[in-house]
Structure 1
Amino acid sequence: MGSDSGLSPAEVSAGFGSVSERVARLAKECRALQETVSLHTVRWHADSDVLSKQAVALVASMKELVRDVYGASERKEISQYVAEKLVDELSKVRTMLYDGDVASLLPAKANGFFLRVLLGPANVRATRKDGRYKVKEEYNAYRDNTAIIFLAFPIVLLALKKNLWNECFPALPVQIYQAWLLFFYTSLAFRENILRVNGSDIRPWWVYHHYLAMAMALVSLTWGIQGHPDCSRKQHGVELFLDWAVMQGVAMLLQNRYQRQRLYTRIALGKAGRMDVVWGETSGVKGQLWVLYPLLFTLQAFQCYIGALLLRTAIIEDDCEWQMVACGLLLIAMAFGNFSNTIATLVAKAKVKAKMKKMKHVGNQMLGQPAEHVAA
């Protein structure tokens, strides 16, 4: 009796034999590919180890040369003009080492405490430079988008308080805003820690600042803003904080716009790496800084004032709440930290400008000397 398909037993056997041969051939090809990939991986690891040792040696030589240049300048063995030129050249070398494909061969930075708590020992370092650049660009885009929300959210709350809520905030909208702040500062700290592992130069203070802001947002979520006979008196601190948030949103928009222009210029000159990001009030041209720095100092003073006001209220009020004390102390700590970092940035800018002016003066003097003196 023939099969249901109408094929003879010989034809059916031949068909199964053909399929078996194809399966065997596929398995053989997979084993061959596996062996080839394994050999390639072994060779790749061996080559990577050799190149990694060369990269580490070059970094050590670069650091030693920087020390030697400064030492020779202090001993007057070379002029300051020559020393600055050599340091600039070494800065470009550093950018090549830390900003190109060589960076993936250097020992990775260990995850900070924040990342270890959230992710454990997971490796968050991108092995390819385009992956690292994508992380940075996504961080910049996130800052741009959230700056708009940071500005718009408190404006809407203040407008509704005046026009719809009879000068008294409902608890839920304010708590939603505080929950968003907790999410915002947590995500910023998370992204900045990943950027630091991937070679970014974010100052530690700005990461610590976001830790403090996370703590303040978490504390404020547990702070009841209703239940007082005079709701406007109890919510005065909330209103002041929202006013400060509006000013902070404006400052964030200015920083994101102005500072990135300067960073792109520094990257083009080889004085900054492509993984570097703008932090705080680090850059901007002269006309822009006349707007940015007064706003920043006003923000810091206002932030300190709100913190002091909360502490004062906690002292004179009978129904003092611990959240009021905690938020007041955190606001004052952030204000002083921001102020000290702003001053440090201004001092660093002044030193750079003085150095550039001196280099230009010495260079002009050398160009006006005879050739044998310049060579000497």
Structure 2
Amino acid sequence: MPQGLGVVLEEWKCLDKEYQQLQETHRMYLQKLDEISKLQNNCSSSISSQRKGLKEVSRLVEKCSKGPSEEDTKTLDEMCEKIKMRPNAFSEMEAFLPKKNGLYLSLVLGNVNVTLFSKRSKFAYKDEYEKFKLYLTVLLMLFSFTCYFFASYRFLDAIFNFLLLWYYCTLTIREGILITNGSRIKGWWVFHHYISAFLSGVMLTWPDGNLYKIFRNQFLAYSLYQSFVQCLQCYYQSGCLYRLRALGERHNMDLTVEGFQSWMWKGLTFLLPFLFFGHFWQLFNSLSLFQMAQLPECKEWQVLMCGLCFLILFMGNFFTTVAVVRHKVKSRNQKPKSM
């Protein structure tokens, strides 16, 4: 037998042996996947059963709460406390179980399972989301700065508006995936990204004309300011979240948001003037566009539609921020009284 052929046969034997091990490992992997799928179904059905049982127990507790003895009252109070804590425990469990996509994700992605099953994967995706927001915000700030001061071309404005549209659409999808995986961002701070995406699409379709040129610099200056404020928020909120997570006061999947929430109060109140100024700038944009819509030469539907979008953004941002600040001030004033 030639020496070269002996070497080839030896290599083949080693490779074939590794292949047999690979087949066995893959067989075990498929078996574990099947076991995991069964466990997931069991957990999901058990959680549903537990929720139904809790409702029934809560109803029975309400019946028993009429005229019990002091000892029974104490037992019922303890049971009520445990019942209140169970939904949070179920939510923590469901964060690691497959869930049906919401309406928006179902329309965009279909029935693809977007649940991440390990804490490391969840944190990695959350960090990737935060980096995406920061990098795109910086890029948008540089782009708007360039368009405002150096390049007054309609095709560059169209690229900027398309970038805004893509950015907000991507944010809505990523946020939907994060919410599925346990992030607690909700309410207006999610919805306003849909409005912003729609506004960017309308700005993209606004034809070049006299009215567009009148509003162009005002919009670019607003976009530049918004990007600057969002960079500030991202930087300071991420530091605040890191500290609160280390103290165990915030959930590990909580995100930085383009607004103000109660957990930002300590150390981040300096952001409020910047936020309120941006909110009133949105109102100013809306009023400017409504005035333009009344001009005889106004033929573009985009003028009135952009004005409505800016008005909705102002109302949502302003009243949500005021509500958060009012709630926080009220809760701080109540603390000394309770002590």
TM-score, normalised relative to structure 2: 0.77
* CA distances 1:249-300 after superposition (whole Å, capped 9, x unpaired): 22112211222233233323333211111322124355641x3112211111
Give the one of 292, 303, 312 matched to 2:271: 292
Matched residue, 2:239: 261
How much is the aligned-residue C-alpha RMSD, in angstroms?
4.0
Asked whether the equivalents of residues 178 and 217 of structure 1 are also in contact (C-alpha less than 8 Å), the reply is yes
- Measured in 2, the distance between the counterparts of 1:135 and 1:264 equals 16
Q: Equivalents in 1 of 2:237, 2:304: separation in Å?
A: 35
- 2:282–2:314: 8 Å Cα contact kept in structure 1? yes
2:162 alignment counterpart: 179
Conservation of the 8 A alpha-carbon contact between 1:66 and 1:90: no
Counterparts in 2 of 1:253 and 1:58: CA distance versus 1, 3 Å: farther
Pick the aligned partner of 2:222 from 237, 244, 248. 244
- The change in CA–CA distance for 1:90 and 1:236 in structure 2 (over 3 A counts) is same
Matched residue, 1:164: none
2:318 is aligned to 339
Question: Counterpart of 2:264 in structure 1: which amino acid?
Answer: G
Aligned to 1:270: 248
Contact 1:171 1:224 (C-alpha < 8 Å) held by counterparts: no
Shifted more, 28-37 versus 300-309: the winner is 28-37
What amino acid is the match of 2:250? A
Matched, 1:153 2:143: yes
| Cα offset, 1:195, TM superposition | 0.8
Quickly say closer, same or farther: Cα 1:278–1:36, change in 2 above 3 A: closer
Asked if structure 2 preserves the Cα contact closer than 8 Å seen for 1:136 and 1:275, the reply is yes
Unaligned 5+ segments in structure 2 are 66-72
Inter-CA distance 213–51: structure 2 relative to 1 (3 Å threshold): closer
| Structure 1 counterpart of 2:180, from 197, 205, 209 | 197
Verify the 8 A CA contact 1:104 1:129 in the aligned structure 2: no
Q: 1:313–1:55: structure 2 CA closer, same or farther, 3 Å change rule?
A: same
Indicate which of 82, 106, 109 corresponds to 1:119.
109
Residue 26 (structure 1) shift? 8.2
Cα distance in 1 for partners of 2:43, 2:298 equals 66
Partner of 1:349: 328
Cα pair distance change 1:217/1:43, threshold 3 Å: closer
Task: Give how far 1:357 is off.
Answer: 3.4
SS of 1:235 mapped into structure 2:
helix
Most deviating of 246-255 and 256-265: 256-265
Equivalent-residue separation in structure 2 for 1:246 and 1:148 (angstroms): 10
Aligned to 2:206: 223
Q: How many residues align?
A: 323
Instruction: Give the aligned residue type for 2:107.
Output: V
Tell me, in whole angstroms, the C-alpha distance in 1 between the residues paired with 2:110 and 2:243.
37
- Structure 1 contact 304–335 (Cα < 8 Å) conserved: yes
Distance in structure 1 (CA, Å) of the matches to 2:126 and 2:172 = 13
Equivalent runs, 1:1-376 vs 2, <5 Å = 36-37=28-29, 39-52=31-44, 90=85, 94=88, 98=91, 102-106=93-97, 108=99, 110-160=100-150, 169-226=152-209, 228=210, 234-279=212-257, 280-282=259-261, 283-285=263-265, 288-289=268-269, 291-359=270-338, 361=339
Q: Is the 8 A contact 1:97 1:103 kept in 2?
A: yes
Mapped contact 1:258–1:284 kept (Cα < 8 A): no
Take 2:14 and 2:301, find their aligned partners in 1: how far apart are those partners?
75
Could you say which residue in structure 1 is the equivalent of 2:70? none
Over 3 Å counting, the alpha-carbon distance change for 1:62 and 1:128 in structure 2 is farther
Pair 1:319–1:22, CA change in 2 (3 A)? closer
Change (3 A) 1:35 1:286: closer
Q: Alpha carbons of 1:225 and 1:303: their partners in 2 closer, same or farther (altered >3 Å)?
A: same
Mapped to 1, the partners of 2:147 and 2:29 lie a distance apart of: 59
Q: 1:340 to 1:33 in 2, by over 3 A?
A: same
Alignment partners' CA distance in 2, 1:334 and 1:252? 15
Deviation at 1:352, TM superposition (A): 3.4
Structure 1 unaligned regions, length at least 5:
162-168, 362-376
Q: Output one character per residue of 1:207-266: Cα deviation in whole Å (capped at 9) or x when no partner.
A: 22111111111111121234x4xxxx6522111111211221221122112222332333
How many Å apart are 1:25 and its aligned residue?
A: 8.0
Deviation at 1:140, TM superposition (A): 0.9
| Pair 54,191 (structure 1): closer, same or farther in 2 beyond 3 Å | same
Secondary structure at the aligned position of 1:284 is classed as helix
* TM-score normalised by length of structure 1: 0.70
- Pick closer, same or farther for the CA change 1:234–1:45 going to 2, 3 Å: closer
